[in-house]
Structures are given as structure tokens and as C-alpha cells.
Amino acid sequence: MNKMRGDNFNQLIPPQAKVDLLSVLSFMEKLGDELENASDLFAYTPNLRISMHLIRGHLDGRLVTMTSLIGASRAPYATASRRIKDMQDMGLIDKRTRTATGKSFSLHPSVLLLDQWTQLTHRVHRLATAQSVGAGSTDVSDYYFGGSYLNAKSIPPMEVLAEPLKLAGGLRVLVHGDPTFMVMDNLKRQFEQTIGTQIHQRAFSIDRLREETMRNASRKSSNYDIIAVDLPWVGGFAEQHVLMPLDEAMDIARVDPADFHTAGWQAAHWGGRAYGIPAQTTPELLFYRKDMFAQAGLEPPATAQDLLTAAKALHNPQRGLHGIAWNAARGTALGHTVLMTLADFGQPILDLPPNAGGFDTQHLANRDYRFTINTPAGLQAAEFLKELLKYSPPNILSMSWYERIRPYAAGRIAMAYGYTLLAPYFELDEASPAKEQTGYLPHPAGPNGAPIAPVGGYVMGIPANLPKERVKAAVEALLVFTSPAAQKLYVQNGSRTSPRYSVGSDPDVRRLSPIFEAVDGMSWRDELQFWPRPPIPEINEIIQICGEEFHDMLRGIITPQDALRRAQERADATLKPPTTVMTSGGETHGPQPPQR
């Protein structure tokens, strides 16, 4: 793994971000002192003291030695030494020799620790901002990460690279055929001028995109320099060596991880390593007709029951109006709906441990998980979908990604679950009755759930089998495509996705659609979550299984209980014992999930 030198990081980190890091660091240090002075019961953990000393030394450019770090921990020598060793083993501390003998060395925060601390900084800022705006307030229209949208500056246009990229045959890109990537294709000439070489882009539907990506991975040499990857595929593609870990090709700091919506950036990781840069962070929201709700005297739905009540009230087939549209086509489309509906009722598809933001997904690469489908919450979700069927269009069981949005844009649907990337179908259509009449909400929650906006979208990564001589240029192109300037350009040309906070706060962007303010508010409230569709290697099979069994349930062929049982049994069967391949040297290769 390439280690990022601290001096390089300090050159790349924006001045304001450094100020924010130091500000939160000082706050945490003072809070720790106050707690410890109040009572011995509130003593800070040595790990936190160790981390804070490392971060401060890094930002101030001061040398950190083992002796100074042990002193800063405020723990006994043996305890502090053991904690520092544990943090080194966890990849949180880098050790660098200072002399030829290696006996003298310095200690530094690793890229992983810097990234975690940056995320903590933002969360502390958001908590402080909540208090500044007012206790219990949800008005975040003027604030993001403790900063003011009113003071946000417009992102400047893309700059031409100082040196054109040298790529024989031009840059080759594989993407999904959705509105955002099609905007990229429409802007191809502008990007070609920016990077100084031709761009050849191929676009496929989601299932064909996966097929082509796997076909490309089997080749000795990749046909593509950059590929778009659906978020749930990240874990499988990492374990099957389809994608190159980004830290093997570049300094992660160049990406500016802190600028990405937390859920979108975390979803790009597997085993603690990033495998792509978010190109689209597009949560699935509930679109609803504000004018129809107002005329019917209805409040925007906050719960699953509220949604059913509104759908029933607005459902009027005699007038050609239906209550709601959603992904219900057999297979992939309905499978996604099932996983998200389970999440709405407080049930992840895996036995994930709960945390403050929902459920913890950091240790998925350990493969120590089981599926949780046939549960009481699963039954509630299944019965909710059956009830939803009553207020849906007659062709709902063949509706998928675009079919659910087109009738909504045409004014024939009162509500629709849909990704933000599909909003242009009505936001940019002057003839659409939904234009300027659409409200954006997270998924209404079931009895044991909380409002969430399940994160979808794509990262762009580098194929693991890309020839070495093309990697450097591919990285530079990847940074251009995912930069704030490029993301702003996509929005200005019709996209309604933005993985970066800086783009969502840009005044030019915010004037184009209320969707950016709505999504930023959901991120601020920790409603953007990617755990509903965890990026495990089996996820594609699980989505397909759920999409088949629940489709039979919706057609009335089997009961909800049977659908849950059959889906659970088929899902469990995907968790096979690991297979190992013995090399001539006696080594084993391949993923090693635990025995089931």
C-alpha cells in the first residue's frame, strides 16, 4: 500500500479544512480536560489521546516520537505502549525510520486515521451547528458542516490540464446508460479539450453493464481505463480483483474525501480501502405532488402508515390517477425495493450491529454475517408491499427504474419512489404537471424504523487488469471526471446528482433545483444511508432472489410467509464454505469467509 507522506497531505488539504480540523481538535482536548477534572469516571480513553496528539503533530509539522506519544496518552507506560502497538496493527499509525539503523523513528497518523478524523470533524461541526441553529431545529438551509451556504462561493469552471494525457487510442470509459452519464457523453468534446485526448465511452443498462465488466475482468488486459460501478457491487468486485484499490494508484488525499457525502464515500470502500471515487450519489427518495396533497388537505407522509393513507386518498383510477408507483418488476428492480423496504421497517438484509447512524458496515470484508429476511420486520415489510399494490397502477408488476417516473412526470401518479438522477424527467420538462410541484422526502418509516434515504449511484474506478503504463493517465482523467468543477457542469447540463458537499452548496447549483438542498439536509440529519444495500459479494444474487420470491407473493401465487421463508433459504444457500486454491509453494489464494 502506498503511504501518503504528511507533508504532501498538508500541501493538499485546503486551508479552511485545516482550520476546522484544528478547531475540533482543540475542542475535543478541552472537553477531555473538563470531563477528567469533573470526575475520574469520565477519563478519556488513551486511544483518543494518542490519536489527538498524532493529528496535532501532523497538522503543526512537529515530530512525534514514541516517548512523546506515551506521555500524551496519560496512561501508564505499559498500557500506552500496548495501545500504540494495537493502533499500528490496525493500520492507524505509520512508523518511519529516521536513521539508517532504523533504531530511531517517528510516528505519524495513517491515511485511514486522517480520513476517520476528518469525518469526525464534520460530524462535530454538524452537531455544533444544530445547537447554533436552535435545539431541535431541522432548518439546515443556511448551514452545512458549520459553514454558511450564504457564504458559499461559486465553483470555477474546469481548467485544462497542464500536460495532455498520453493514452494510445484515447481514454476508454465504460458507464451506465443513465441521465448523468449521458450528460457526460454530451459534454465529451469539453472533457476531451480538458484532458487533451479523445474519449471513447460505452454505455449499457445495469445488468449488461455488470456482464461487460465481468467479461472485461477475465481479459488479460482491460479494454477500459475507467469503469462505472454500481455501489452494491464494490465488495464483490474488490474480492474478485475486478477493481484496483485506489491507494495503489494515487494519494487518496487528492480526492478530498471530506467533500463527499459520508454515505457515498463509505460505500466506495471494502476492507477499509477505497475502490472508486463517487461519480453519482443518488439517494432514493419519495417524490410527491405538493399541489395534490394541498388540495386533498394531506400532510407529507412521515410514516409508512401515513404513506398508505395518502396513497388511498389520492388513488382514483376512474380519473386516470393512481396513488403511487415503485420498482415492482420481477428480478433486479423489485429486489432493490425489497431491501429498501426492509430497511424502512428497521431491518437490514444482514445481521449488522446497530450504531448511531443505523447499522455498522465497516467489517463486512470479514464475511462474518448472515442474512435476515424471514423476521417479524420482514413480514411487516412484505404486508406493506401487498397493501401498496392496491393503490398502484395496473401494470405495477412490470414497472422498473424509468417506468415508475414517466407516469409521475405525466401527472398520472401522485407519489413515486425514485432516485434523484431521475428528477430531470419532470424538473426539466415544461409540459410536466410535476414540474415545480414536487416535494422530496426520505422513505417514510415503519414502526421500528427511522426515515432514511437509501443511497444509490455509481463510483468510477480503475480496472485491476489495466496495463501499468496507462494507470497514471487514467488516475488523472478520473480526478477530472469526479472533480467539483465537473460535477457542477453535469448539474448545469441536466444531472440531478451530486456526491460532493461543495457542489450542493454552490449557489449556481442550488438555484437549479430544490433537490440539492433537500439531499444536503438529509445528509446533515444522517438520513443518507448505504447499509440497506450492503456491498457484499453475494448482493447481486440476493437482490435477484428477493425480486423473484416477492414477485410471486405480489402476484398471489405464494403467501408473504412463504415468500420470506423461501427467500431466506435461497439466500442462506449463497453463503458457501470458502474454496481455496493451493499453489505450488503451498500458499492459498482467494477470499476466506468463515465456515457456515
Domain boundaries, the chain: 6-133, 154-281+455-529, 285-446+533-573
Higher pLDDT, 59 or 235: 235
Its CATH class, for the domain covering 6-133, is: mainly alpha
* Structure confidence at residue 249 (pLDDT): 94
* Structure confidence at residue 56 (pLDDT): 81
CA separation (Å) from 525 to 139, 347, 445, 516? Answer: 10, 20, 15, 14
H or E element at residue 582: strand 581-582
Task: Say if residue 76's pLDDT is above 80.
Answer: yes
Using a pLDDT cut of 70, give the percent of the chain over it. Answer: 84
Residue 516 CB-density burial (10 A; 0-12 exposed, 13-18 middle, 19+ buried)? buried
The string of pLDDT tens digits covering residues 293-319 is 999 999 999 999 999 999 999 999 999
Span 158-167, average pLDDT:
90
Confidence (pTM): 0.72
* Structure confidence at residue 152 (pLDDT): 58
Fold of 154-281+455-529: D-Maltodextrin-Binding Protein; domain 2 (3.40.190)
* Structure confidence at residue 408 (pLDDT): 97
* Structure confidence at residue 427 (pLDDT): 94
Residue 263 CB-density burial (10 A; 0-12 exposed, 13-18 middle, 19+ buried)? buried
CA separation (Å) from 438 to 291, 292, 455, 525? Answer: 8, 10, 20, 21
Task: Say if residue 236's pLDDT is above 70.
Answer: yes
Same fold, 6-133 and 154-281+455-529: no
What value does the mean pLDDT of the chain take?
A: 85
CA angle 110, 113, 119 (to 5 degrees): 140
CB 276 within 8 A of CB 234: yes
Task: Say if residue 585's pLDDT is above 70.
Answer: no
The string of pLDDT tens digits covering residues 3-39 is 444 444 444 455 555 666 777 777 777 777 666 666 6
Lowest-confidence segment of 249-263, 477-491, 553-567 by average pLDDT = 249-263
* d(C-alpha 4, C-alpha 174), whole Å: 29
Span 454-480, average pLDDT:
96
CATH superfamily of 285-446+533-573: Periplasmic binding protein-like II (3.40.190.10)
Residue of 242, 549, 293, 574 lying closest to 415 (CA atoms)? 293
* Structure confidence at residue 382 (pLDDT): 98
H or E element at residue 454: strand 453-461
